[in-house]
Chain A
Amino acid sequence: MSSDSRADGELVRAVLEGDRSAFGAVVDRYLPTVLAVIARIVCNRADAEDLAQDTFVRAYQRLGQYGQAHSFRNWLLKIATNLALNHLQSRRREQSRLPRMIEMQSQRSAGPEGPQDVPGPREWQRWLSKLDEPHRAAIVLFHFQELSYAEVAEAMDVPLNTVRTYLHRGRRRLKELMSARAVTERESWTAVIPSC
């Protein structure tokens, strides 16, 4: 991977002027962030990789619409978030149409060595996967990417107060899930983070 030190705006200008290789530097710079955001929202590694690819393809196609006054990273995360949420929405529709097929698929992917799961030493993804999708997206963007309220609102296309509500409800739900598990198993919270 190359380490291009040019600023985002310069890279975008270079791409718009015909330098396709400059987009490689953009991918190098933001692929880990984009993949992490999508993986945490969709909770599925294979889908996350496909959606990360779609994010960069779409960003490339619409590079002319990027306003230099805004953060390129946030613009990219907005595309990634919308693609991830739309993907979950369409997946939910498919699940409602084909319950048996999805049931079989989930049984296959539920194995301990399942390649679908996002790996991680603490396997926290299971907790997040229990949240509603918008709540999960807001938590990923605000807490994991450290975006501000306004930036999360822009990325998710929702009002600021809605972001506040999503975060509040998401954290409350996480707390309830963790408390319930801790009480049930009579263990401390450090010991109950589930494994995938």
Chain B
Amino acid sequence: MDCRDTKLLMDAYWDRHLPTELTAQVEDHLADCPSCRGEYGGVTELLARPDPVAVPAGLRERILAAVSTVEIQSHPQAPAGRSYRWWMDLLHAPWAGATAACLVFAFLGWIGFQIPVRGPDAVSSGTNARTAPDPMLLAGWTQSLAVPGPGRALPALVQAVAIERALRPELPEMSVRNRVLEQAVEPPSEAPPAIHEIGRIVAGLSTLGA
């Protein structure tokens, strides 16, 4: 073992992580090499042989006298140090940030995947590739949230479009959308379709491709 190896191994040696054989080699080198001994020997000696601290006479009796004036607490209280919280371990874990980021992205991805929307390009090319959410779908959701009253039927309507697209991906997108809108929104004088009617709409749409 040379000085370079010793330098690399010193922290592991102090941490008691080295196997016995390497520990002996480090100690042999420290004994033989004045340079390394000058650099690491002092710390090694200090850490290896702490001087004893003598207990003064009377301290034991003083402690027992103090203890005799107190009682054992019956109700659990906070420990001596900072209070322990299990989730603090998670926050301090080195992988906590990466895990949280992965979970957030996985959740967002899952949400996106739950909207089976095909963009115009995918429709025109005849593929089933999933793309960004359709602007009409987003507009429908937004409108349904913003407008009270009859507009509340829109979420179900949008779901009907989405379900139909999932069931019949081969249908042209516009025909599905127009068909749904014609049935659901067109009669202005009548009350908007109730939620239970959406099932009927979906059932009717599902026969479109047949």
Say whether A157 contacts B72, CB under 8 Å: no
Among the listed B15, B52, B54, B66, which residue makes an inter-chain contact with A53, where contact means beta carbons less than 8 Å apart? B66
Q: Which residue of A lies closest to B56 (CB)?
A: A49
Q: Which residue of A lies closest to B89 (CB)?
A: A159
Say whether B80 contacts A82, CB under 8 Å: yes
In the complex, whether A11 has a CB less than 8 A from a CB of chain B is: no
The number of A-B residue pairs with CB atoms under 8 Å apart is 145
Q: Which residue of A lies closest to B82 (CB)?
A: A157
- Report B65-80 residues with CB < 8 Å from chain A CB: 66-68, 70-74, 76-77, 79-80
- Report A76-95 residues with CB < 8 Å from chain B CB: 78-79, 81-83
- Report A16-55 residues with CB < 8 Å from chain B CB: 16, 20, 23-24, 27-28, 31-32, 35-36, 39-40, 48-49, 52-53
Among the listed A31, A53, A124, A190, which residue makes an inter-chain contact with B50, where contact means beta carbons less than 8 Å apart? A124
Q: Which residues of A contact B89 (CB under 8 A)?
A: 159
In the complex, whether B14 has a CB less than 8 A from a CB of chain A is: yes
- Given A52-B63, A189-B37, also A171-B47 (CB < 8 A): yes
In the complex, whether B64 has a CB less than 8 A from a CB of chain A is: yes
In the complex, whether A114 has a CB less than 8 A from a CB of chain B is: no
| Surface stretch bound by A, among B38-46, B122-130, B173-181 | B38-46
Say whether A182 contacts B82, CB under 8 Å: no
- State the B residues within 8 Å of A (CB): 11, 14-15, 37-43, 45-56, 59-60, 62-64, 66-68, 70-74, 76-77, 79-82, 84, 89, 92-94
